[in-house]
Chains A and B, each alone.
Chain A
Amino acid sequence: MKAMANGSTLKRAMKFKMLYIMLIPGIAYLLINNYVPMLGMIIAFKDINFAKGILGSDWVGFKNFEYLFKTADAYIITRNTILYNLVFIVVNLVVAVALAILLNEMKNRFFSRFYQSVVLLPYLISSVIIGYLVFSLLSAETGLMNKTILPWLGIDPVMWYSEPGFWPYILTFVKIWSTAGYLCIIYFAAVVGIDQEYYEAATLDGANKFQQILKITIPLITPVIVIMTLMQIGRIFYSDFGLFYQVTLDSGVLLPTTNVIDTYVYRSLLRNGDIGMSSAAGLYQSVVGFIIILASNYAVKKINPDNSLF
């Protein structure tokens, strides 16, 4: 025993050889899939010339960023990304928490189960299928809106896929449609977990339902709300690519209100083959996104260390 305590960490590590071997495939994958691209971000500072290779290409300093931030796009994609995410976070939070509290009040067990199943369904559908669902409603010639609903209301057909003005509302609706149910179930689990004694005591003290929700339910599920919201704020510089690319049918006319950083990087890389521009936008996203994650986590840690993510 004495000898073991004196042994160096390295000697101790040798005893766990098998455990280290188990780690190899996963760590190797992360090094390739995640860490090599991090190093690869240097291409944002280069003028990539495939004849010279990625490492051999000339350094151009911040030229790519100068070009990027001179375009009007840089402002539009940043604004769209952040505003959409802010709206999604707030509306989702209000809808999901409200539904979760109502679901908890529902006395009928059967219907409660049934609704739990139904609201979760949209979350599991790929954004390609969501694109089909939206298309079946908004298609100019055959959509339910133009062919059935608008004629009922006596309104002229709308060319949905070429009117940028409608899309902030449509995309918000689609996002809430696809994620509010999922968040509702998460908050519902938290509401169910609250000790009934709190409510019994409050009822004895004469508190009504509304006061109980405001003073007991909401404060007690706040840790879950904070963690879920923090995770979303941490990703405020990233968008749901499928929502902005697939659901809009990749329509160029809609870009002023639907272009976000992710779709911009994709289009400039794979449509225009513009490595300089796309890598600059990508690096901008990664770095600012990273700072936002650290900052939001730090802020929460200051307020209540138990609620922070790390």
Chain B
Amino acid sequence: MRANRLEQTVIHIIFFLFACICLIPFAVLISASLTSESAIIQNGYSIWPSVFSAESYRFLLKEPMMILNAYGISIFVTVLGTAVSLIMMTLLAYPISRKDLPFRNVIAFIIFFTMLFNGGLVPTYLMYTNVFEIKNTLTAYLVPGLLVSAFFVILIRTFFTMNIPSEVIESAKIDGAGEFRIFYGIVLPLSKPVLGAVGIFQIINYWNDWFNGLIYITDNKLHSIQVMLNTILLNSQYLMTNVQAADNMVEAGDIPSHGLKMAIAVIGVIPILITYPFFQKYFAKGLTVGAVKG
């Protein structure tokens, strides 16, 4: 029994340390957003605010337009992108889950092959900018790369084949229901778990995406929250000019730039923390692994 207690203690210590490593950077980020600017300049960032101050957040409340616009764009793109992408992926997954559909293997291969091979950044970029001219439009956040993922399509298809017996579909057909009626009235209501899981993944993917913004967006007014955070971090002048563009009464010296950066980052993470419990719920069901094969 003694050996067992020792064993449990060691396991707890290992996980406690690992959890600390996971959480300390977040603590530093939050603490930095709540520390007074002068204290940051003097003592640097720390795990606990050396001099507590909400000045960064007060400043954001005073100049809300600066991040409201970016936040609005992120929310719009995330909601619309997730909705459209779920519809398109479900419409793809259902027909190829039907064993009686002629050419289903050819279609499934067309989808699957996109997981193995891709044309790369250069042709994609040239096509989207020259043919579709999506540079500096919201379409650039929604469409390239993110809308349909073969991985999720196959995940949804596997769910359909495993959970919707073909007898159910057969009997609905005998009752005279059309294909779309069957899909809408029988298949969709049965697939809430998988649509929930994929939906959560897509919400996170759209919210976190900054690559499309990096390559297709050059207009500051169209920055999503991630692109704005990215620009602030890489360009130390950006925050100053952006604040002064919103309100030219602000003196550069009055901007608590060290803390402000971190406050914006904290606000950018909040939606992820909100979706986190849902993510965990679906993730724990193991919907992501092995489910794709088959």
Q: List residues of A whose CB falls within 8 A of some B CB.
A: 9, 12-13, 16-20, 22-23, 25-27, 29-30, 32-41, 43-44, 54, 99, 102-103, 105-108, 111, 114-122, 124-129, 131-137, 139, 141-144, 146-148, 177, 181, 185-186, 189-190, 209, 224, 227-228, 241-242, 246, 249-250, 262, 265-266, 269-270, 275, 278-279, 282-283, 285-286, 289-290, 293-294, 309-310
List, in ascending order, chain A residues with CB within 8 A of B123's CB: 36-41, 43, 279, 282
22 A-B contact pairs sorted by A residue (CB < 8 Å): A22-B183, A23-B91, A25-B91, A26-B88, A30-B110, A33-B144, A33-B148, A37-B119, A40-B124, A43-B126, A105-B11, A128-B208, A128-B233, A132-B265, A135-B233, A141-B41, A143-B45, A144-B47, A186-B289, A189-B286, A279-B120, A286-B119
What's the nearest-Cβ distance from chain A to residue B63, in Å? 20
- With contacts A16-B98, A126-B210 known, what are 18 further pairs, Cβ within 8 A? A18-B178, A19-B95, A25-B87, A33-B143, A33-B147, A99-B15, A105-B7, A119-B18, A122-B22, A125-B269, A142-B40, A143-B45, A144-B46, A185-B284, A227-B290, A269-B122, A270-B215, A282-B121
Q: B28 is contacted by which of A33, A116, A133, A141 (Cβ under 8 Å)?
A: A133
Which B-chain residue is minimally distant from A26 (CB atoms)?
B92
Q: Is the CB of A54 within 8 A of B126?
A: yes
* A132 to B258 CA separation, bound complex (whole angstroms): 11
A194 → B minimal CB distance (Å): 14
A144 touches B226 (CB 8 A): no
Q: Are the C-beta atoms of B258 and A20 separated by less than 8 Å?
A: no
Q: Give the docked Cα–Cα distance between A99 and B130 (Å).
A: 49
Contact partners of A12 in chain B: CB under 8 A: 102
Least distance between B197 CB and chain A CB atoms (Å): 14
B23 touches A118 (CB 8 A): yes
User: For residue A119, which residues in chain B have a CB less than 8 angstroms away from its CB?
Assistant: 18-19, 22
Q: Which residues 80-122 of B sit at the A interface, judged by CB distance below 8 A?
A: 87-89, 91-92, 94-96, 98, 100-103, 107, 110-112, 114, 116-122
- Counting CB contacts under 8 A, is B26 at the interface? yes
With known contacts A16-B101, A118-B23, A124-B276, A106–B234 Cβ distance under 8 A: no
Q: Chain B interface mostly helix, strand, loop or mixed?
A: helix
The 6 closest A-B pairs by CB, nearest first: A147-B44, A40-B123, A37-B119, A282-B120, A126-B208, A26-B92
Q: For residue B25, which residues in chain A have a CB less than 8 angstroms away from its CB?
A: 133-134, 136-137, 177
Q: Return the chain A residue nearest B94 by Cβ.
A: A22
Residue B76 CB within 8 A of the other chain: no
Chain B residues, Cβ within 8 Å of A189: 284, 286, 289
Question: Is the beta-carbon distance between B28 and A142 smaller than 8 angstroms?
Answer: no
**Contact across chains for B234 and A27 when beta carbons are under 8 A apart:** no
Which of B11, B29, B283: most chain A Cβ within 10 A?
B11
B61 within 8 Å of A (CB atoms) = no
Q: Which residues of B contact A128 (CB under 8 A)?
A: 208, 210, 226, 229-230, 233, 268
The answer for the CA separation of A12 and B100 in the assembled complex, in Å, is 10
Q: B288: CB under 8 A from chain A?
A: yes
Q: How far is the CA of A19 from the CA of B180 in the complex (A)?
A: 8
Task: Give the residues in chain A near B261, CB-CB below 8 Å.
Answer: 132
User: What CA separation (Å) do A278 and B215 show in the bound complex?
Assistant: 14
Q: How far is the CA of A242 from the CA of B211 in the complex (A)?
A: 8
Which residue on chain B has the smallest CB distance to residue A19?
Answer: B95
| Most chain A CB inside 10 Å of its own CB: which residue of B32, B102, B269, B290 | B102
**Cα A249 to Cα B28 with chains together (Å):** 18
A30 x B148 contact (CB < 8 A): yes
> Which B residues are CB-close (under 8 A) to A115?
15, 18-19
Name the distance in Å between A203's Cβ and chain B's nearest Cβ: 13
Give which listed residue, B43, B91, B111, B153, contacts A22 with CB less than 8 A. Answer: B91
Task: Tell me whether A29 and B148 are in contact (CB under 8 A).
Answer: yes
Q: Taking CB as reference atom, which chain A residue is nearest B31?
A: A136
Say yes or no: A27-B107 contact (C-beta < 8 A), given A22-B95, A269-B125: yes
Given known A148-B44, A279-B123, contact A13–B102 (CB-CB < 8 A): yes
Specify which of A41, A102, A103, A144 is in contact with B119 (CB 8 Å cutoff): A41
B272 CB within 8 Å of chain A: yes
Tell me which residues across on chain B come within 8 A of A134, comparing CB atoms: 25
Which residues in B have their C-beta under 8 angstroms from that of A294?
A: 116
Interface: B293 (CB within 8 A) = yes
Cα(A78)–Cα(B293), bound, Å: 30
Tell me whether A133 and B102 are in contact in the complex, defined as CB-CB below 8 angstroms, given that A26-B153, A290-B116 are known contacts.
no
Residues in B with CB closer than 8 Å to A106 are 8, 11-12, 15
> Considering the chains assembled together, what is the distance between the CA atoms of A117 and B247 in angstroms?
42
A35–B130 CA distance with the chains assembled, in angstroms: 17
Partner of A29, one of B88, B210, B234, B265: B88
Query: Does B229 contact A278, Cβ atoms closer than 8 Å?
Result: no
Q: How far is the CB of A131 from chain B (nearest CB, A)?
A: 6
